[in-house]
């Protein structure tokens, strides 16, 4: 921990779920759904996968690295950077847990620190993307929410959409008979900075509810697991 703190500084500020700007993956199905578009082609962004003998080791590895923290109000993992991350049970290996981190915000230093932390906490079966050769993309500057305008609301059958893409989702337990019907509220923003500021100020606390912001620089969204950039 001392080595990692020396690289990234101390982490004394108390954070809540609202501070999460990453996307959390806490089930095997969700990780598979994220990875499905890249089965036939290697992704361009850095990624790190490890397997762990138990949940505690996987959690210790994840929480030992910045920018992942535990929210003081929900107890859930959160990220202060726009990352895809998660600790999840491996369905095909009883008792084993997976560790997943990916995204353009991973710098060479963070990539190395994550690998070291995972190996130190008994991680095995590592699957690593290409180590980034330069600093992470700069974080979005803080701005107000001006320049964001509501466009429309739509209802989407997410289960049918997933099946059409060849992605099979098993875990809809406890979500009710209309679990696969998602509400998407679409907005337009003047740019990425305005979109990110808007998404930070509008956390989502229910499943199958999405805020989607369209900008000239790309499409950005937020659901109950955090903020994400929609792929092309």
| Cα atoms found within 13 Å of the Cα of residue 132, Cβ hemisphere only | 22
Per residue in 71-108, pLDDT tens? 999 999 999 888 899 999 998 788 899 999 998 889 99
> Rounded to two decimals, what is the model's pTM?
0.65
Spell out the domain ranges in the chain. Answer: 2-128, 148-230
With vertex at residue 60, the alpha carbon angle to CA 226 and CA 120, rounded to the nearest 5 degrees, is 125
pLDDT at 125: 96
| Cβ–Cβ < 8 Å for 50, 126 | yes
Using pLDDT thresholds of 50, 70 and 90, give the confidence band for residue 146: low
| Cβ–Cβ < 8 Å for 210, 182 | yes
Average pLDDT value for residue range 188-204: 89
CA distances (Å), origin 152, targets 155, 187, 226:
10, 7, 21
Instruction: Between 132 and 11, name the one with better pLDDT.
Output: 132
With vertex at residue 224, the alpha carbon angle to CA 219 and CA 228, rounded to the nearest 5 degrees, is 25
Cis ω before 67 (30° cut-off from 0): yes
Q: Which uninterrupted H or E stretch holds 209?
A: strand 209-215
């Amino acid at each position: 921990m001392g080595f990692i703190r020396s690289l990234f500084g101390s982490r004394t500020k108390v954070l809540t779920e609202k501070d999460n700007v990453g996307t959390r993956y806490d089930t095997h199905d969700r990780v598979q759904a994220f990875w499905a578009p890249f089965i036939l082609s290697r992704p361009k962004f850095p990624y790190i996968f490890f397997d762990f003998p138990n949940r505690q080791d996987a959690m210790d590895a994840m929480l030992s690295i910045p920018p992942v923290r535990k929210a003081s109000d929900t107890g859930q993992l959160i990220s202060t950077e726009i990352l895809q991350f998660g600790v999840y049970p491996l369905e095909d290996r009883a008792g084993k847990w997976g560790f997943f981190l990916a995204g353009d915000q991973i710098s060479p230093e963070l990539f190395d620190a994550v690998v070291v932390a995972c190996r130190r906490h008994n991680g095995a079966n590592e699957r690593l993307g290409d180590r980034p050769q330069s600093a992470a993309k700069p974080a979005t500057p803080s701005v107000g929410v001006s320049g964001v305008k509501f466009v429309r609301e739509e209802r989407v059958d997410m289960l049918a959409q997933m099946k059409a893409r060849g992605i099979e989702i098993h875990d809809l337990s406890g979500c009710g008979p209309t679990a696969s019907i998602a509400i998407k509220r679409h907005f337009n923003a003047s740019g990425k900075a305005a979109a990110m500021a808007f998404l930070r100020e509008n956390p989502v606390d229910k499943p199958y509810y999405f805020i989607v912001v369209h900008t000239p620089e790309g499409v950005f969204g937020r659901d109950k697991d955090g903020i994400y950039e929609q792929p092309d």
